[in-house]
Amino acid sequence: MPRTSSRKGSTNSASSNNSSAVDLFRSATGKAASKELERIDQLFYSYVNNSFGMIDPEGIEAFCSDLEVDHTNVQILMLAWKMQAEKQGYFTIEEWRRGLKALRADTIIKLKKALPELEKEVRRPSNFLDFYSYAFRYCLTEEKQKSIDIESICQLLDLVLGSQFHSQVDLFVQYIRTQVDYKVINMDQWMGFYRFCNEISFPDFSNYDPELAWPLILDNFVEWMRAKRS
């Protein structure tokens, strides 16, 4: 009996020690996370417009200058995607925290290092479709706006898809700048073009079937391209 009692005491002691170690680890982790969030907030308030309580276009320009990245660089759009920013040219503190915590970046130096990794993350097929859709929504700057003017779409296509599908984007941009039927592009047309780039043989369009559910603007684009080659 005494030996049995002794073993129980040892077990309880070990359990107590393990519990203490876990508590210490949790406490240290919690403090580290709290400090990280504090630094993320400090960084936010170094760019915030106090009148709005948000980072505005002027603050974003200063932020980009510190990052040594042009505000038109696709990485800034990718950062907005990571933050799930809702309004173009503005970051709320909730959006800022969401993005920087996910990137584990609480300083400009860490954020500079994180951007190339973020770009790799975005360009994975599992993420890129969501990013491509987000890019369109992010450019809807007015309430109830559902379409984007042609010139803005041309710039956005080059920014988002230009490096991936250079020839298709270049020719489609040529087409939509010269045609007269469309003044704006909607989400269905925007998403259709991405599907087109991924699925249609280029530049011969041999597997393009206009009877399938393609936006009419793409039927017209293919006709225009075939007329150019003939």
133-160 pLDDT, tens per residue? Answer: 999 999 999 989 999 999 999 999 999 9
Beta strands in the chain (DSSP E): 147-149, 184-186
Percent of the chain with pLDDT over 70: 87
Question: Where along the chain do its domains lie?
Answer: 14-122, 126-229
Domain 14-122 listed as CATH 3.40.50.300:
no
- The whole-angstrom separation of Cα 128 and Cα 147 is 21
Q: Are 167 and 202 in contact (CB under 8 A)?
A: yes
Rounded to the nearest 5 degrees, what angle is found at the Cα of 201, between the Cα atoms of 197 and 202?
75
- The whole-angstrom separation of Cα 154 and Cα 174 is 9
Checking if the pLDDT of 5 tops 50, the result is no
Domain 126-229 listed as CATH 1.10.150.20:
no
Query: Quick check: do 14-122 and 126-229 share a fold?
Result: yes
CA 9 to chain centre: 55
Residue carrying structure tokens 């592009």: 185
- The whole-angstrom separation of Cα 64 and Cα 61 is 5
